[in-house]
Amino acid sequence: MRGRFKWCVVVAVALGIGSDLFGTPAGAQSIEEKTQICASCHGADGKPVEKTIPIISGQPQGYLYIQLRDFKRGDRKNDIMQPIASSMEREDMLAIAEYFSKKPWPDLGQPRASKEISGRALSANRSVGCTGCHLDQFQGDGTVPRLAGQSRDYLTKTIADFRTRARGNNPGMSDLMLATAPDDLAALAEYLAGL
């Protein structure tokens, strides 16, 4: 219960500050000021404060921009991120995406998957071809996200959201996730987190 309470406070504070931040005229604030609010959840050192919050530091600019745009449009639904993105202009989104893309990817220190889990994940990758898009070592590029070392709980959640289409901003990814066995996806999440 305590964790949940802390979470609510973080959200309330963040949303309160958020509406002020992007309500001011474009250019009135530096990029550091505009991104201060992000650190309260995504982490000042790039390590998210909760396991269901994704790493955004070091993620490609194109991918980050598309997510902010999709949250604003409502194509990607999320009670926390939609209000934050809703008051951003395109220029803000591009600048913020560039700012985070230039930061180093943090090491969350998640355990490496066992031999058995890794074997299952790699065999699923061979049949689905994840790395055909997510590239070698799941590093991502352009509008395709890096998956290597992403938070395991976040990966699990967003894969589940693709499957229910609660995350509806990329129907192709949803189709692919629905066509992949849940056990394979669980193995992939564990494997990717440990890379």
Q: Residue 166 to residues 33, 68, 159, 194: CA-CA distances in angstroms? A: 31, 16, 10, 26
Q: Which residues bind ligand HEC (CB under 6 A)?
A: 10-11, 14, 35, 37-38, 40-42, 52-54, 56, 64, 66-68, 78, 80-81, 84, 96, 124, 128-130, 132-134, 143-145, 147, 150, 155, 157-159, 169-170, 173, 176, 180, 188
| CB 82, CB 90: distance < 8 Å | no
Q: What token pair was written down for 41?
A: 């959840």
Least CB distance from residue 75 to ligand HEC, whole Å? 9
Which residue lies nearer to ligand HEC by CB, 1 or 179? 179
Least CB distance from residue 154 to ligand HEC, whole Å? 7
Which residue lies nearer to ligand HEC by CB, 113 or 155? 155
Least CB distance from residue 37 to ligand HEC, whole Å? 5
Q: Residue 194 to residues 20, 93, 114, 115, 124: CA-CA distances in angstroms? A: 38, 30, 10, 12, 16
Residues linked to residue 144 through DSSP beta bridges, in sequence order:
141
